[in-house]
Amino acid sequence: MASYHAFMAGLFSSDPDHPYQVDAAGLRGLVTDRLGEAFQVSEVNPLVGLAGRATLLRRLGEAMSEQPETFGDDGRPGRLFDALVGPYGPAAPPTAEITAHQILSLLLETLSRIWPSANSVDSIAADGSDNAGGIGSGDPALALGDCWRHSAVRGPGLTNGWMPFHKLSQWLTYSLLEPFEWAGVKVRHLDALTALPEYRNGGLLIDSGVIVPKDPAFLTRRWKASDEFIVEWRALTVALLDEVAPRVRKVLDRTEEELPLACVLEGGTWAAGRALAQRLRDGAPPLLIESDGTVF
């Protein structure tokens, strides 16, 4: 609701005469304090990673302004729709079909540069360019995003040792499904997306005893998103929620088409994880993770 009211107040627009829009200039000029005001942040109502969230929005503005071929000269995120549906012509939306994979792929191709995590695969960056100097060069276009190393992961070539999650990009993909449907575009193959490995879904699995840390002390120490323990917990969350979904459908007597994973997550595991955390720890997650607002 805070995001909605901020949008209606023109917080993300650079044009006072057209407040009900988001554009690159509006995002690039977003001040952290104004975002905090929109979310009613105060000493008694803190928001973890506020500065990181504001930075993400500013980097989003920069990314869109650097890609006019996708987002237009004024950098409008809504042109993602045009990029996916436009090739079918102006009369296509009532009968157009796209896949969830296409939405996620376009988001990763155009917006992976907004993530500030210092990850690169060998000398190849997320966008396929040469990154011999490493992410430390400060070029946001080279950010790999929510993808982390784990010694147990096996894969071909440069993917060996890397566990991809792209949680927020997938969350955005899930969030875009309904707007595309409202516009008359059928989104197919929702099962190509994974569960979302964040602290509510993953927290549910810990709080319910499905995932048990080998050392109880792991629940009391502080972690970083890049730590193997956190990567492993998140990977288990993705795999185990794939096991939960068909069991939920069986109990409710629903098909995968009637109850896709997105519904199991939002109305089930995420909500249950939040409720259980509230009951056990006044809403706090079961793990202590240093957060800048860009992963958790």
Q: Give pLDDT tens digits for 172-199.
A: 999 999 999 998 889 999 889 999 999 9
Please tell me the least confidently modeled range out of 182-196, 197-211, 273-287: 182-196
pLDDT at 291: 78
| 223 vs 244: CA distance, rounded Å | 27
pLDDT at 296: 74
Residue 249 vs residue 135, higher pLDDT:
249
Residue written as tokens 């109990």?
Answer: 251
**Which 3-state string (H, E, C) describes 98-133?**
EEHHHHHHHHHHHHHHHCCCCCCECCECCCCCECCC
| 23 vs 132: CA distance, rounded Å | 33
Q: Give pLDDT tens digits for 224-247.
A: 999 999 999 999 999 999 999 999
Closest CA to 36 of 27, 19, 49, 21: 49
Q: Say whether pLDDT at 142 is over 60.
A: no
Could you say which DSSP state residue 42 is in? Answer: -
Bridge-partner residues for 130, per DSSP? 124
pLDDT at 129: 43
pLDDT at 128: 43
pLDDT at 4: 95
The percent of residues above 90 in pLDDT, for the chain, comes to 72
pLDDT at 135: 32
pLDDT at 30: 97
The percent of residues above 70 in pLDDT, for the chain, comes to 88
Q: Where are the beta strands (DSSP E) in the chain?
A: 97-99, 147-149, 162-164, 186-188, 222-223, 288-289
241-265 mean pLDDT: 94
Residue 28 vs residue 88, higher pLDDT:
28
**pLDDT class for 94, splitting at 50, 70, 90?**
low
Q: Say whether pLDDT at 221 is over 60.
A: yes
Residue 228 vs residue 290, higher pLDDT:
228
What pTM was estimated for this model as a whole?
A: 0.84
pLDDT at 139: 43
Q: Say whether pLDDT at 123 is over 60.
A: no
* CA atoms in the 13 A half-sphere facing the CB of 98: 29
Q: 166 burial class (0-12, 13-18, 19+ CB within 10 angstroms)?
A: buried
Q: In whole numbers, what is the pLDDT of the chain averaged over residues?
A: 87
3-state secondary structure of 91: coil
pLDDT at 257: 87
pLDDT at 85: 87
Residue 10 vs residue 292, higher pLDDT:
10
pLDDT at 155: 87
Are 150 and 161 within 8 A, CB to CB? yes
| 86 vs 75: CA distance, rounded Å | 17
pLDDT at 63: 95
